[in-house]
Amino acid sequence: MKSRKSPPRNKGAGESITLSIRIQPRASKNEIASLENGGLKIRLIAPPVDGAANEALVRFLSDRLSVTRSQVEIVSGHTSRDKIVRIRGVDRTNAERMLNLKEK
């Protein structure tokens, strides 16, 4: 019987973080606007129509955190500006560093 090799795992693949995010659609550029009260405010160019802002948020976070889009999941708030997002494969310390977060 042949043994199967398990696929290689991403470094830190078992770790995940959950972020509270308030988005501002139709902004002039994609950016992290602020960190207040434990949550992020992110400005997105995309309009809040047909899931465009949600897709832009997933793309923005995956690019900033160097993870795949499938590792970024909107847990709640699909039709709201306030969202809960889970990101797999990154720990809180690295996420804070990669997002340049500083409490105001």
Q: How far is residue 13's CA from residue 20's CA, in Å, rounded to a whole number?
A: 21
Which of 57-61, 65-69, 82-86, 95-99 has the least mean pLDDT?
A: 95-99
With the C-alpha atoms ordered 81, 30, 28, 104, is the resulting torsion angle positive or negative?
Answer: positive
Domain count, the chain: 1
Asked if residue 51 belongs to a domain, the reply is: yes
Assigned domain for 104 exists: no
Q: For residues 26-40, give the mean pLDDT.
A: 88
Q: What was the pLDDT predicted at 101?
A: 74
Domain containing residue 61: CATH number: 3.30.1200.10
Residue 10 lies in a domain: no
Cβ count within 10 A of residue 19? 20
Yes or no: say if 37 and 20 are a contact pair by the CB < 8 Å rule: no
Domain membership of residue 90 as a residue range: 19-99
Is 7 part of any domain?
no
* Residue 78, domain member (yes or no): yes
* pLDDT at residue 103 in the model: 57
Q: What is the pLDDT of residues 37-53, one digit of tens each?
A: 778 999 999 999 999 99
